[in-house]
Every structure is written in structure tokens, then in C-alpha cells.
Structure 1
Amino acid sequence: MDSLSEISGDLAELDGELKDIFRALSNGFQKLEKIKDANRQSRQLEELTNKMRECKRIIKEFDREIKEMESRNTPEMTRMLNEKKQSMIKELNSYVSLKKQYASKLENKRADLFEGPHGGGSVGEENILLASSMTNEQLTNAGNQMMDETDQAIERSKKVVEETVNVGTETAAALKAQTEQMGRIVNDLDSIHFSMKKASKLVKELGRQIATDRCIVALFSLIVLGIVAIIIVKIVNPNNKDIRDIPGLAPPATRRLLWN
């Protein structure tokens, strides 16, 4: 196999990404060896762990590509690709082992910082020896000094507690005010909703009333137009019998006699 690019561009791309990360891991562990601060070592080790997780993901994608191409490749080519994958896994495992070693060293260093350079009981023994060599006056002064420091520490603790209580009281008052404000807002929203429903109902009733008024106006308009039409016809043709027979429009009887 001369190159992965001749088999698959995706495999070649995954192989290139993995080589870059392996190179970064190698440089990262060399840098970790030179770092003395425990916190910086921890951060560096976390970054290297994330890179190893990325390597694991790429190897899984590489294996998936091999399985998808297995039916199209020759057995010899499939075997070489699997050997390439095993080589990647082996290199990743070497960095995982290296990471475990550094993590163990870091934990031991932190334990030494907590326990002290001579073990957990050395500090107490040292204090006992120091007290045995003091005079009564020195012991009294040291005790008074320790009591003063304790009183000061208690006073500081009291101030912290008072500040915490004050902050808690202010926070509770602010929360109560906000709760009351939210309650007022909810009531206002309910009032607005009720007003909108009432206004909608009034608009509907007004619409029906306007429609009824329009019908009445239209009816009166028709009546007026009919009366005007009859009057016009009467003026134009006064001898029209049909109009003369309409009640109220026929001439009086006396006028009829004079006409005869």
C-alpha cells in the first residue's frame, strides 16, 4: 500500500488528522515534563486528555470506513488497513499509559502538599517539643496570643455571618417585592382581558343595532320614495283612475261635483 489516498480520500484525511494530534500529544507531554506548578500540570494534562478523546473518535471513524469499503477491497488491502488501525490504537494506548503515570505523580504531589514533608504527625510532634522548651511566661504569652488570634477569627466570622444575613434579608425583600409586582401585573392582565371581552361584546351588539337601524332607514326611504312617486304621477296625470282610488289622494266630493 503506497498511500491511503490511492484507496480512499476519507481514510487519508483521517490518517492526516490523527498524525497531527499524535504530534501534538508528543509535544504536550514533553512540555508537561518541564512544568513544575501542580495546577498548570493539571490543566495541561486535561488538554492532553481531550486530544486523546479526539484520537479515539478518529480511530472509530477510520474503522467504520474500513468496514464500509470491505466489500470493495481485496483481502490483502483489508488486512493492511486493519494493521494500520491497530498501529493507531497501539500508539494511542502508549499516550494513555503516559497520561496515567503523570496523573499518578500529580496525585502523589498533592498528597505530599497536604500531609507535609515529614508525614501527617510531624507537625504536632514539633509543636510538642517546642512547647516543652518554653518557660511558663512564654507559654502564657503564647496562649494569650493564640486566644487573641482566635477572638479575631471569631469576630471576622461574625462579620461574615452578619453580612450574609443582611444580604439574605435584602434578597428576600427584593423577591417579595418582585412577587407582589408580578401579582399586580397578573391582576392587570386579567382586567385587560375582561375589558377586551366586554368591548368585543359591545362592538357586536353595536354592529347588530346599526344593521337594524339601516333596515329601518331603508324602509322609510322606500315609503318616502313611493309617496313622492305617487305625487309626481298625480301631478302629471290627474285623471288617472288608479291614483284617484287610492285613499287620501282622490279629490273631495264637493270638488268632484264642481267638475261635473
Structure 2
Amino acid sequence: MAHPAFRPLRVVTLLCALAGAAGCGTAEARDTPAAARKLHVIQGLGFPESVRYDSAQDVYFISNMAGPGSLKDGNGFIVRISAADLGRPEVLIEGGRNGVALDAPKGMAIAGDTLWVADIDVLRGFHRHTGAPLASIDLRPHGAVLLNDVAVGPDGSLHVTDTGIAMTDKGVMYRGGDKVFVIGPGRRVSLLAEGKDLGRPNGITWDPAGRRWIIVSFDPFRSEVYAVQPGQNVPRGRRRARCWRAGWASLTGWSGWRTGGCSSPAGRTAACT
């Protein structure tokens, strides 16, 4: 696979064996580092930011910013890799080709045959099989600063985090505007939560057992995991994340920074950390 934006970066696919996973709630388990065994390294991606597993196709999608995360340069791309053959990645979606607009793609979510992608201040939809562009939801009129992750709710609504930061060639700068957008029927935009209490929301996933949203913050000094209940604007249960479920994990690394988010389809966990 050749791409002009490739860098000497990598995506590492790991099989995580978590010590004391059954006793995850104990203080001892939370303080015990997870043990992991490396299975495969995919070299040379363009600032890979996020991973999403598609259980129907048994493939991983990897978003690549191909530069600073706030730069609108039109050269972002998304790679697809078969879980059965991690050594043969292919570029499925690429900015500037086949009618695709894509600047710096980050978190992704799958709803039906649409792969939704957070792209700075626009939420973009692509066909998960062909990569063809399907939809574009502009969140700039709603004050979007940096859309970071996407998750699908139990009612089919899309939830999108806005970290409120600028990712530039000079580093990460906080601009404010921490939000979690909700895209409902008819693409109506509303807010699940907003404000500095969100701590620069980054990764997001739905917790069906607790019927709540689990969010990971991007705070550079104290990243936290907390819950937001539908209809409430106040994060609850803040704690540092040290315990993960056993399963598969895929991690992306870019430009020396780190970011987080997870999902658990079909018993597998795709996480960026």
C-alpha cells in the first residue's frame, strides 16, 4: 500500500490479557497494569487517529489525519484492513478522490451501511463497503471546534464529542466549547451536555447495562472516564481508567501525542490510547 501522506508511524494490534479481569472492580485490580502481547504491527500510516471494527465484514477501519488534526487540507484518508489478514491494508476512502471531502478524520461509528466519521467540524458519512460519500452534516453553525469521536445510541441517534481544542503544527491548544452533540431524526442537532465540566470530551461509547454514556476526557494532566446520563448535563463517577475488559485491542499512535476511545463489537475491543 502506497500513499503520499504515509509517515514512519504505526498501528499496533494487540491481544490483551488483563490480570484480574474478573475482579475489575477491586482497588488491586484497578492498580494492576494490563499485560498485552503484540500480534502485528502495521507500519507507515499517516497520523492514524482511530480504529473501528466492523463485525459484519470482519475488518478494521483506521482513520488517518495525514497532518495536524485541525488543518483543513483535504488529504485525510481511511484504511480498511481484514482482521484475517492484517498484513494487507487498503485505502478505502481518500480526500480529493471519487468525490470525497476529508480533512483530518478521527473517531468513527457504524450505523447500517454508513460509516460516520468526525472530521474537524463536520460529520461525514461514507458507505462502509464501497467508501462512497453518502452524507455531510455541518456542525459549524452549532459552534463545533474539534469533533473527536462518534457513537450510535440505542435509538439510532448519533452522539459526537467536541473536545474544544485546536491541533496545530505548534501543538494542542485549548479553545473551549466542550460539547457532546446529538444528531437525531431528520438530522436535527441538539446537545447531550456542554461546558468545562466535560474536561475536553474525547472518546464516547454507550453503556447498555447502565443506560448511560461513558466518556473519556482529553485533559493533558488528568485524563478521566466518567458517565453522563441522558437528560443530565453533569458528568458523574469520575475516575482514572486503569482496568479494561479482556479481548482484542487496536492502538494508534501519531506525532508523539496520544488519544483515547473504545468500542466492543462481537467481543473485540478497538481502542486508541
Q: Shorter chain as normaliser: what TM range?
A: under 0.3
Give the number of the structure with larger relative contact order, counting CA–CA contacts within 8 Å between residues 6 or more apart.
2
Is the strand fraction higher in 1 or 2?
2
Is the helix fraction higher in 1 or 2?
1
TM-score relative to the length of structure 2:
0.15
